[in-house]
Structure 1
Amino acid sequence: MAEEGWIKLYRSIRSNWLWEDGNERYLKWWVDILLMVNHQPKKILVNGEFVEIKTGERLTSTVKLSRRWGVSRNTVTKFLKLLEKDEMILTSKSRQNGTTLKVLHYADYQGFEDKKRHQTEQRSEQRTEHKQELKELKNKDHENFEKLWKLYPKKEGNKKRAEKAYLEAIKNGVTNKEIQTGIVSYIKKIQVEGIERKYIAQGATWFFQNRWTDEYELEPISKSTSDGQRQGKTEEEIVAERKKHAEEITRRAEERLKNEHGD
């Protein structure tokens, strides 16, 4: 049964001495060698022992080749020496095993298929690794968002829309720490200015509008009469007390977030 497969034959062979007029049989024998050598390693039994014939090699003899090509052994030997001189093959002889032909640079003739398969497998592995990395990154981003959502003071609105806005921001280079700092600053503003819950931005709105970019400067304390003033405290004492209270709230929020992150 004939072996299946193919070899590459470059057009440049036309400029080789094998192609010259009068060398037609040399060209035929050379192509025959390319077709007969192994396209992958193979073990064969020779004189009761296993011999490994590598890719691009063939175990034969000048006697077998002379019969195969219908010429004398001397003609075969002469042809093989021409190929060796042109660094196209190497031959090694053994009394027990005969002559081993080795085609030099065999990959240029038949290795393309193996190389292409290897490149395809390599690209497939790289794609798999990349997909796994993206999956892990996506899971990490989701976990980070969940922690920020838990920290936010008013968890209302379309949560999925909020996460989508968060992921888009992260994709565009915004860090998780920036958004976290924005939430903590907003909490501080709520406490210092005494913002009623109904006026606190919904979580979905805050994320969708990228409110972490807002400058949360503390508004001056109102000069209207307060419980502290009625208790005889000065305005400076009231401001200092509220500032201390706000700092404590901020500290607790940061500590809670730090514990959730496991830092």
Structure 2
Amino acid sequence: MNLGWVKLHRKLSDNKLWTSEPFTRGQAWVDMLMLANHKEDFFYVRGNRVTVQRGQLGWSQLGLSKRWSWSRGKTKRFLNELEIDQQIVQQNNFISSLIIIVNYEQYQGDGQQTVQRTDSRRTADGQQTDTNKNVKNDKKEKNVKKKNKDSVCFIKPSLEEVRQYITEKGYNIDPETFIAHYESNGWKVGRNAMKSWKSACVTWSKNPKKDEGKFIWWNIYPKRNGKRVGKADTFVRWAKVKEFDYEDMMTATRNYAASDEMAKDPERFFKLDKGNLPYWREWMEPATPDKQSDKGEWYE
């Protein structure tokens, strides 16, 4: 049932019936497909030229909220969910906001693939024939199908591939933690199989502290009695921790997890004092066996 095409003209997005009431989530997704550029174009924001490529939307969250009759929070949650599922990628900067449809070609093809059909319907005045004469191109249709089939075949990246990619993009991501996280969950994003690890890197690079940070922390969190702590248990602690620098916190956690102090009293790590970790900065450097007592305690 998910094969074939349903043609929707972009004029539908301007129809009053389309925008007459708050959108459903499915309607919002279809609306994004119609609002996306079918060819490269540009617009200006405060004198700055912003280029919008095919398959991209030059819409802000505020603009979509007004269009869909949604609250700003609902729109943000919806877009974040689509991004986590690797349906879109959000690009925000101080000038503009762009939304990229990850598999745009699967929905729109190359713009040349069409189907000829005859729609005959009976009216009171007699027989009316409405023939939509379009050009069929079997060769291009096969190429598009092959391209779409290949695009969903996911191949796990190597550690070196991830390291090279995040270096090229300048992302502040630990490649080993990235690989470890997805190896532990079977290379899934949420409940869905991963389609693009590069898109996942984009998500991690934006605000890992809020979005993916808790998953990273869970991977390096000290084991209790030799077993990994449940995600829910770890996430509760993550939400309570206050006032720390993200990268430093990860470094300190790794150092503490590998220390003799952790080996002596593993339960100690799991005790929060009002959600604070007063001495965590003292674990920025790995502790040596003869200087464990000089490192201070992780908690008060």
Calculate the TM-score normalised by the size of structure 2.
Answer: 0.31
Richer in helix (by share)? 1
Greater C-alpha radius of gyration = 1
Higher relative contact order (CA 8 A, sep 6+): 1
